[in-house]
Structure 1
Amino acid sequence: MGEPEGLGGDLFELGVSHHTCADRAIGLLQAGAVALPDVLPHVFLDDDHLDFRDLDQPPVSGTCPYCGREGQMTDEHVWPRWVSKLLREHFGTFDPRKSKGPVSRETIKLLTRLCESCNGNWLDVLETDVKPILAPMIVPKAAYKDLNPSEQRLLAVWAYKTALMFDLADQHGPRVPAYHHELLRIRREVPNNVRVWIGAYNRDWAVRLHVADLTIGQDSSKPNARVFTFTAFRVLFQVFIAFPWGSLTLASSQHHISDLYAESGLHSLTPSTGRTIRWPLNGVAFNDEAMDVLAGRFDHYETRLLRPGDA
C-alpha cells in the first residue's frame, strides 16, 4: 500500500491485529471499511536507541533469546513443569537418566534463561494450548489418537519451540541462529527451513534426547543444521532445523533402514497435508535401538535450501 499523500513520511498507528488476521485487516483498511479517528497517534523510531541483534548468530548470553531484552531474566524449564508433573504421576519417583530410579524429582532439571515477559506470556499460552492435545499422548489412555490439522500445527510449533530450548540449554552454548527464536515469537509457526515429524516410543525412559549436527549444502565447511530427536515417554518428535534461510528439501540418496523406519512410523507435521492423521502411524512405536537409527537418518540425505531468487 502506497504512502498516503500529504503525510510527509510520518508513521501512524492504525490499530493492532493478530498476525493471522493482518491480511484481512489490511484489506478492510484498503477498502475503506474501517472507521479511523480524525487524529491518529504518531509512531516514532529513535535511531539512537535502536539495537539490532545479529539474528544470523546464536542468541547472546544474558539476553532473552526470543526478544533480545536484557534484564528481568528468569529460569525456564526446558521440559515444561506440566510434563514433569505428568511423568512423576506415572512413574512415582523418577530420574531422567533411568527408567524408574530412586531419586525423587519435582521437575526434570534442565534449565535455560528467558525474560519474564516471554516466559510468562506467549510461551505460557503455547503450553496451555498444547497440553490437552499432548498430555494424552505422553501417557496414553487409548491405543491411538486422531489429530486434525489444527492440532498437528500446534504440536509442530511446540516441538520446534522445545528443540530451540534444547539448543539454548546445550552445555557448549547454543548454535541455532537467533532469528529462529525471533520468528517463533512473532509468528508462532514453523518456518520453511524446519521440518517436524511425530511418532511413538515404547520403552520405559521418562524422556530421551539425541542431538545431531549436520552440514548441508556446498557453501559451508561447518555444521549449519541440527536435528533433535526426543521423547516424552510415549510420544516421539524429530525436528530438523536448518540455519540458512530458504525452503528446505530433503531426499534420501540411498534406501537405508532408517528410511524404512521413518516411512513406517513417522507422520510429517510440516509441511501440513491438511488432513487428519492417526497417531501412532500404522500402530508403530520405536524402541531404543530403532530411535538411535532414526536419529542418524539424515547422514545419507541430500539436502537443498531454495532461497528467494533461486531458479
Structure 2
Amino acid sequence: MDCLFCGENRKMTKEHILPRWMREEFPELAKEPVYSGSRFEYDSPAGNGPKERIEGGRKQGGPFTNQAPVVCGSCNGGWMSGLETAVRKPLVQMIKGLPVTLTAEHQRTVALWSAMKLMVAYFGKHYGGKRPPLEVIGIEDPRALYRNKALGPRMVMTLARYQPASAQREPLALEEYPNGN
C-alpha cells in the first residue's frame, strides 16, 4: 500500500489519531469509552422532526487508542515524530491553560501537526483503495504537506474549542457584540 504522505509503496505502520502522551493531560477522558463512527441528522419524511442515525461501534480506552494504518515507518518515525515532539510543549501549555506565547514557528508547527492529524483521521477509515464518501481532503493535500512541510494553497485550517454540554457556560451578552458578529 502507498503511504498517505510520501506516496511510497511500503509496509504501513499505525499512527495514533490523538497521541498517547495526551492521556496524561486528559486522564478522565482516557477512561471513557469511544463511539467510533458517524452521526447523521436528517428530516423525517413523515414531518415529525429530525431523525438520527449512528453508524459504528463502541471501543474502550478513550480516544487515545484510535490508530490508522496509513503511513510508512519512515514517515512515522521520521518527520512525523519530529513534528509530534515539536508541538508537545506549546500544546501542553495550552491544554493546562498556562500562558504561552505562540511564536510564528509555534503557530506553523501547531497548524502542520493539526493538519497531519486531521489527514490521518480522515483517510484512516477510507484508505486502501476505498474512496471517502465526500472528498473533502484530496490525496494531493497530504502529499503536499509531506513535500513542502506547509499547508497547500487550497487548504484551510480552522481550530475550535470544544466545551462539553455538561460544563457550565456563561450566557452570551449581545451588547458585547453590537454588530451581531
TM-score by length of 1: 0.39
Q: Does 1:108 align with 2:65?
A: yes
**Corresponding residue for residue 110 of structure 2:** 155
C-alpha displacement of 1:70: 1.6
Moved more, 177-186 or 117-126: 177-186
Q: Does 1:123 align with 2:80?
A: yes
The one-letter code matched in structure 1 to 2:155 is V
1-side partners of 2:141 and 2:63: how far apart?
Answer: 30
2-side partners of 1:167 and 1:64: how far apart?
Answer: 14
SS at the partner of 1:114?
strand
SS at the partner of 1:198?
coil
Q: 1:180 to 1:187 in 2, by over 3 A?
A: same
SS at the partner of 2:159?
strand
CA contact under 8 A between 1:85 and 1:106: conserved in structure 2? no
CA contact under 8 A between 1:184 and 1:190: conserved in structure 2? yes
C-alpha displacement of 1:65: 1.4
Q: Of the two structures, which has the highest relative contact order with CA contacts closer than 8 Å and spacing of 6 or more?
A: 2
2-side partners of 1:188 and 1:72: how far apart?
Answer: 22
Structure richer in helix, relative to its length: 2
The one-letter code matched in structure 2 to 1:151 is H
CA contact under 8 A between 1:126 and 1:158: conserved in structure 2? yes
2-side partners of 1:115 and 1:134: how far apart?
Answer: 25
The C-alpha deviation readout for 1:15-38, integer Å capped at 9, x for no partner, is: xxxxxxxxxxxxxxxxxxxxxxxx
**Corresponding residue for residue 182 of structure 1:** 143
CA contact under 8 A between 1:84 and 1:107: conserved in structure 2? yes
SS at the partner of 1:76?
strand
Written as runs of structure 1 = structure 2, the 5 A alignment for 1:1-311 is 62-87=1-26, 89-91=27-29, 93-97=31-35, 103-105=60-62, 107-138=64-95, 140-142=96-98, 145-171=100-126, 173-174=131-132, 175=135, 176-203=137-164
The one-letter code matched in structure 1 to 2:119 is L
Q: CA-atom RMSD, angstroms?
A: 3.2
2-side partners of 1:166 and 1:92: how far apart?
Answer: 18
CA contact under 8 A between 1:73 and 1:115: conserved in structure 2? yes
CA contact under 8 A between 2:30 and 2:62: conserved in structure 1? no
SS at the partner of 2:156?
strand
1-side partners of 2:61 and 2:118: how far apart?
Answer: 26
The one-letter code matched in structure 2 to 1:177 is G
2-side partners of 1:163 and 1:190: how far apart?
Answer: 12
How many equivalent pairs are there? 142
The C-alpha deviation readout for 1:53-88, integer Å capped at 9, x for no partner, is: xxxxxxxxx21111122232212222222234533x
1-side partners of 2:91 and 2:162: how far apart?
Answer: 14
Q: 1:148 to 1:199 in 2, by over 3 A?
A: farther
CA contact under 8 A between 2:30 and 2:63: conserved in structure 1? no
SS at the partner of 1:196?
coil
Unaligned runs of at least 5 residues, structure 2: 37-58, 167-176
C-alpha displacement of 1:128: 0.5
The one-letter code matched in structure 2 to 1:155 is V
TM-score by length of 2: 0.64
The C-alpha deviation readout for 1:117-159, integer Å capped at 9, x for no partner, is: 0111000101000011112323x243x5442222111111111
Q: Which has the larger radius of gyration?
A: 1
Moved more, 189-198 or 154-163: 189-198
CA contact under 8 A between 1:75 and 1:112: conserved in structure 2? yes
